[in-house]
Chains A and B, each alone.
Chain A
Amino acid sequence: MSDKAVQQLATVTIRFAGDSGDGMQLTGNRFTSASAMVGNDVATLPDFPAEIRAPAGSLPGVSGFQLHFADHDILTPGDEPDALVAMNPAALKANLPALPTGATIIVNSDSFTKPALRKAKYDADPRQDGSLDGFKVYEVPITDLTLRALEGHDLSKKAKERSKNMFALGLMSWMYSRPLEPTIEWVESKFSAAPDLVDANVAVLKAGWAFGETTELFDHRYEVQPAADLPPGLYRQITGNLATAYGLIAAGQLSGLPLFLGGYPITPASDVLQELARHKNFGVATFQAEDEIAGVGAALGASFAGNLGATVTSGPGVNLKAETIGLAVATELPLLVCNIQRAGPSTGMPTKTDQADLLQALFGRNSDAPVPVVAAETPGDCFDAVIEGARLAIKYRTPVFVLSDGYLANGAEPWLIPDVAGLPDLSADVAFAAARHGDDDSFQPFTRSEATMARPWAIPGTPGLQHRVGGLEKADRSGNISYDPENHHRMTMLRQAKIDRIAQDIPPLAIEPDSDADADVLVVGWGSTKGPIKAAVRRVRDEGHKVAQAHLRHVNPFPSNTGAVLRRYHRVLVPEMNTGQLRMLLRATFLVDAVGYNRVTGLPFSSGELAEAIRSQVHQPHEGVEAT
């Protein structure tokens, strides 16, 4: 154990940054794992370039991983890092603007060579020109210390240098009192085929720790106690994409339907296809199609044939799928469409987050083609959002959008592992239409259930139910092609009413627990902004202001009490990482004078900026009529 003084902290945000080849994502993930194991609450924000390998040492090649850990429940990956580990000058330059004054900076001093400074577009060495005044800067010759730790190991110099991220991890683990065991175990299983790599990585990891312990540079370290307010139970770390994949597998299991995923690789959604492909023993069939159109087409065909058809993509892929989603609306077949939103328009910023595909999900098809929309709120919540999406798709025989985003997809959080026995049973809603025998040709594929307005799901192979579906308008009940004006009106209204009816089958919009009943201001969001909004509301309430928060999980249809909730408050603030899409819907649907806080940076909101936005609403004078 250390002899140095230990300072207790409640919450810490650190950022690892280096070249994309430096292994910063791995370092961040291991640190996160260890922090979660200690019992801290954690939230992460990986931030990597779209280029697989931008030129080494260049600014576009900088890869970063921010994580926030605390002794209480936290809601965001942290606004500003308390500490930055910069493995090269480019990483320092790219991340310096994010640091508050007084932050700790640990630089790999070996990397500050003339050529490296030039590649980072530094005219002068920032360590000498005053750029770092006001920060606590520690210069550590990480490369050199790594090589020294590996003296006598039979590895090339290049291979040795490659483990310098382990030195940084060891040092930071010492500084924040993280255990090394979880990382050592991980290294052992990861490199089980190459014992010399295990030895090398562990040696460097321990050298990093020992350096912290012995060097005079640092006179104390920190500790963050386990979070006491997390609900008890068994936890694991989970990212949104992993939770999405698990949600899809669970939806298949819970419904008893074989899951069929038709996809096409696209950032940040590809992980889901890849993860599912590893679980064929759950009866999961995955299909990498020739494009997004074929991916969703095959999924719809699979649904017609009695599978749970699903597709996972990002905005540009949704564009391509639009016509098929419309076909699913017309044929009234279940289909899950998961959109892991990314910054646009067009190709935009593939690795950056955004929540600007909401109106696309609602309206991105020709004509009146209503589709339910469920939005995930946290990485772990992607699991439940997908199951909820599947429930609606199966029960109401409709395509359903499940919206996630780049922040949820790659961000991680501790996840209270659900008890499978407590998950909803989706099998009763499957209810395939039963065979008919004899000469009875009277099967009518467009009759509807009283309760759900859903039509029968009559799958091929069922005797006596031969029928044809398609995109041409169908006659109510018989399902024959119909151009009858009154029929088209009726079918349009029926399709809309079926989706509207879902409002009765979802939980009412709730005011979040940490809200003031008598607040003037209601903050309403949807999707991944829930954590940052909650953190901001907390801050503003701690300052003594009254604020309430509500978060929409179902964005189409809205819960039936939504209008009533909104009208209870004088002011409604809608923060969104888009130009005001939910706000437009709320204003149009409920005639409330909602105002927006809208910023699109490709990064999640910081709670600081949201707190500022809320304050500006709290301080507005009443426009109420109660004159004195």
Chain B
Amino acid sequence: MSDASRVSGGRPGQATDTLTRKDFASDQEVRWCPGCGDYAILATIQGVMPDLGVSRENTVFVSGIGCAARFPYYMNTYGFHGIHGRAPAIATGISETRRDLKVFVVTGDGDALSIGGNHLIHAMRRNVDLTIIMFNNQIYGLTKGQYSPTSETGKVTKPTPEGSLDYPFNPVSVALGAEATFVGRTIDNERDHLSAMVERAAHHEGTAFIEVYQNCNIFNDGAFDAVRKNEANQIRLEHGRPVRFGAHGEHGVLLSDGCELEIVDVEGAEPADGSQPGATGRRVAAESELVVHDAHREDASLAFALSRLSHTPLGPTPIGLFRQVRRPVYGDELARQLADAQLRKGSGDLQALITGSDTWRVGGQRPPSPTP
């Protein structure tokens, strides 16, 4: 077999100790608008790459169409800039057949959730070995500012002069609903958080989906400011820890009797503004009553409930790893079936296959006589 033979169960891995961030930058001029959040994401991801332990030639970035989707051109790895929405499909063909490669998908909110919504959810439920990074700017950037499936209802854009009528998707909820085995959320300019998320996602076996809040300073400036610029609104999820947030951890999340998550003030923690817990009318609860985040629960209900704490990023919003569970990886299972078939039946014999068992000879032996 050729170089392309499938590496069954093999994982990408090759020392990259000697490589630096610069080695992962291509020679192409980056062409996003000055000030675009995409720059920070690119720089951070280029910075993470040497730590992943995967060589440049074993790394593939696949994308669809959009501002975000230009990403592969800027990486000195293999890259496939696909067509609008179809990156998960193209990446699936690469990942399924080449277990020796590390495959990333970079996509936008329109690319992933509008035209490509179908491919996205199916890649996730299959658990194809892909790290999918969705730059959510709640707008169509490349086509100059139309509302997207994550834009808030009432969004005024050129095709919606009176405001959009659509109810938006919450990407994390979508991913959880689509059975993704790794779901996280991070922010373009939170370098450490973003690089930690990307690194964890890249090491996950199966589909990892990360939503990145990305500022489009041209068509949707400040869409995430309530969260991006106000750390107090970032509910940082940490596995095994009670869900708390605020400068002094003065707020927390509690599972109410009605089986709903509720934001409460935490007993004994002084709110940053110097007021008393409960002063805003919120319930006051002891830390021991708070929900303890369990990212590895098989059941996704709690992760889903956390994703519903903020449907739009205007108030306290969970950031971090919502869920990470193990499930068989599509490409590994396919490789196993291929290997099993070879073990069971031996390598295929083409002549035997096309000959089959019901044959007859012309110009030789007599045909069978017609008797019952």
Residue ranges of A at the interface with B (Cβ–Cβ < 8 Å): 1, 33, 36-39, 170, 173, 177-182, 205-206, 209-210, 223, 226-227, 230-237, 246, 249-250, 253, 256-258, 260, 262, 279-283, 285, 287, 289-291, 293-295, 297-307, 309, 323-324, 326-327, 331, 383, 416-420, 430, 432, 441, 459-472, 480-481
Give min CB distance, B174 to chain A, whole Å. Answer: 15
List of B residues within 8 angstroms of A471 by Cβ: 65, 81-83
Write out, one digit per residue, whether chain B residues 51-94 have a CB within 8 A of any chain A CB (1) or not (0). Answer: 00001111110100100000011011111111100101111111
List of A residues within 8 angstroms of B96 by Cβ: 260, 285, 287, 298, 302
Interface presence of B230 (CB below 8 A): no
Give the contacting residue for A305; candidates B55, B98, B355; CB below 8 A: B98
**Which parts of B324-372 form the interface with A (CB within 8 Å)?**
334, 337-338, 340-342, 344-348, 350-351, 353-356, 358-364, 367-372
Give min CB distance, A183 to chain B, whole Å. Answer: 10
List of A residues within 8 angstroms of B341 by Cβ: 279-281
Interface presence of B204 (CB below 8 A): no
Q: B91 touching A285 by the CB < 8 A rule? A: no
Give min CB distance, B188 to chain A, whole Å. Answer: 23
Give min CB distance, B177 to chain A, whole Å. Answer: 15
Q: B368 touching A179 by the CB < 8 A rule? A: yes
Interface stretch of the complex, out of B1-9, B209-217, B257-265, B314-322: B1-9
CA–CA, A480 and B70, complex, Å: 12
CA–CA, A460 and B340, complex, Å: 26
Whether A237 touches B358, Cβ cut-off 8 Å, given contacts A250-B350, A466-B78, is yes
Interface presence of B118 (CB below 8 A): yes
Interface presence of B97 (CB below 8 A): yes
Interchain residue pairs A-B with the least CB separation, the first 6: A470-B81, A232-B363, A301-B93, A297-B89, A306-B4, A282-B348
Whether A249 touches B353, Cβ cut-off 8 Å, given contacts A304-B90, A461-B57, is yes
Q: A33 touching B98 by the CB < 8 A rule? A: no
Give the contacting residue for A461; candidates B89, B100, B342, B372; CB below 8 A: B100
Whether A460 touches B78, Cβ cut-off 8 Å, given contacts A232-B362, A234-B355, is yes
Q: A181 touching B122 by the CB < 8 A rule? A: no
| Contacts A/B (CB < 8 Å), 14 sampled | A38-B370, A232-B364, A236-B359, A256-B2, A258-B5, A260-B93, A285-B97, A294-B118, A297-B82, A324-B83, A460-B58, A460-B98, A462-B3, A463-B57
CA–CA, A234 and B58, complex, Å: 47
Whether A281 touches B83, Cβ cut-off 8 Å, given contacts A38-B367, A298-B92, A298-B96, is no
Give min CB distance, B149 to chain A, whole Å. Answer: 18
CA–CA, A227 and B361, complex, Å: 12
Give the contacting residue for B346; candidates A36, A281, A460; CB below 8 A: A281
Give the contacting residue for B57; candidates A232, A305, A462; CB below 8 A: A462
Q: A441 touching B92 by the CB < 8 A rule? A: no
Interface presence of B101 (CB below 8 A): yes
Give min CB distance, A424 to chain B, whole Å. Answer: 13
Give min CB distance, A193 to chain B, whole Å. Answer: 18
Q: B3 touching A461 by the CB < 8 A rule? A: yes
Give min CB distance, B152 to chain A, whole Å. Answer: 29
List of B residues within 8 angstroms of A170 by Cβ: 372
Whether A177 touches B370, Cβ cut-off 8 Å, given contacts A250-B354, A258-B97, is yes
CA–CA, A380 and B79, complex, Å: 40
Q: A258 touching B1 by the CB < 8 A rule? A: yes
List of B residues within 8 angstroms of A295 by Cβ: 89
**Which parts of B258-307 form the interface with A (CB within 8 Å)?**
none
CA–CA, A469 and B61, complex, Å: 11
Q: A293 touching B98 by the CB < 8 A rule? A: no
CA–CA, A182 and B341, complex, Å: 30
Whether A235 touches B360, Cβ cut-off 8 Å, given contacts A306-B2, A432-B2, is yes
Closest to B369 in A: A179
Q: A301 touching B92 by the CB < 8 A rule? A: yes
Interface presence of B28 (CB below 8 A): yes
Q: A470 touching B72 by the CB < 8 A rule? A: yes
Interface presence of B26 (CB below 8 A): yes
CA–CA, A1 and B369, complex, Å: 10
Give min CB distance, B69 to chain A, whole Å. Answer: 9
Closest to B364 in A: A232
Give min CB distance, A546 to chain B, whole Å. Answer: 32
Give chain B's interface residue range (CB within 8 Å of chain A): 35 or more
Q: A285 touching B358 by the CB < 8 A rule? A: no
List of A residues within 8 angstroms of B79 by Cβ: 466-470
Give the contacting residue for B361; candidates A235, A283, A461; CB below 8 A: A235
Whether A302 touches B354, Cβ cut-off 8 Å, given contacts A177-B370, A282-B348, is no
Q: A287 touching B92 by the CB < 8 A rule? A: yes
Q: B100 touching A236 by the CB < 8 A rule? A: no
Whether A463 touches B55, Cβ cut-off 8 Å, given contacts A301-B89, A418-B354, is yes
Q: A460 touching B57 by the CB < 8 A rule? A: yes
CA–CA, A103 and B305, complex, Å: 73
Give min CB distance, B217 to chain A, whole Å. Answer: 23
Q: B368 touching A181 by the CB < 8 A rule? A: yes
List of A residues within 8 angstroms of B338 by Cβ: 280-281, 283, 285
Interface presence of B191 (CB below 8 A): no
Most B CB contacts (10 A, CB to CB) among A205, A249, A297, A459 go to A297
List of B residues within 8 angstroms of A466 by Cβ: 26, 56-57, 76-79
List of A residues within 8 angstroms of B162 by Cβ: none
List of B residues within 8 angstroms of A294 by Cβ: 86, 88-89, 92, 118-119, 122
List of B residues within 8 angstroms of A441 by Cβ: 27
Closest to A459 in B: B4
Q: A39 touching B362 by the CB < 8 A rule? A: yes
List of B residues within 8 angstroms of A467 by Cβ: 78-79
Give min CB distance, B85 to chain A, whole Å. Answer: 8
CA–CA, A236 and B352, complex, Å: 12
Closest to B359 in A: A236
Q: B80 touching A417 by the CB < 8 A rule? A: no
CA–CA, A178 and B122, complex, Å: 51
CA–CA, A369 and B259, complex, Å: 57
Whether A236 touches B356, Cβ cut-off 8 Å, given contacts A432-B4, A461-B100, A470-B82, is yes
Q: B355 touching A1 by the CB < 8 A rule? A: no
Give min CB distance, B60 to chain A, whole Å. Answer: 5
Q: A459 touching B370 by the CB < 8 A rule? A: no
CA–CA, A415 and B27, complex, Å: 56
List of A residues within 8 angstroms of B62 by Cβ: 301
CA–CA, A466 and B231, complex, Å: 39
CA–CA, A569 and B363, complex, Å: 38
List of B residues within 8 angstroms of A432 by Cβ: 2-4
CA–CA, A300 and B362, complex, Å: 42
Closest to A229 in B: B362
Q: B86 touching A297 by the CB < 8 A rule? A: yes
Give min CB distance, B332 to chain A, whole Å. Answer: 13
Give min CB distance, B354 to chain A, whole Å. Answer: 5
CA–CA, A279 and B353, complex, Å: 9
Give the contacting residue for B122; candidates A260, A290, A469; CB below 8 A: A290
CA–CA, A280 and B341, complex, Å: 6
Contacts A289-B92, A294-B119, A305-B98 supplied; 20 other A-B pairs, CB < 8 Å: A39-B362, A39-B367, A181-B368, A210-B372, A234-B359, A235-B359, A262-B93, A281-B342, A282-B348, A287-B93, A295-B89, A305-B94, A305-B97, A307-B93, A324-B83, A417-B354, A432-B3, A441-B27, A468-B79, A470-B81
CA–CA, A496 and B371, complex, Å: 61
CA–CA, A466 and B76, complex, Å: 6
Closest to A1 in B: B371
List of A residues within 8 angstroms of B370 by Cβ: 38, 173, 177-180, 223
Q: B362 touching A420 by the CB < 8 A rule? A: no
Give min CB distance, A103 to chain B, whole Å. Answer: 23
Whether A430 touches B2, Cβ cut-off 8 Å, given contacts A290-B118, A301-B93, is yes
Give min CB distance, B102 to chain A, whole Å. Answer: 10
List of B residues within 8 angstroms of A226 by Cβ: 362, 367
CA–CA, A305 and B78, complex, Å: 10
Whether A291 touches B94, Cβ cut-off 8 Å, given contacts A206-B372, A282-B350, A466-B77, is no
Whether A279 touches B355, Cβ cut-off 8 Å, given contacts A305-B98, A466-B77, is no
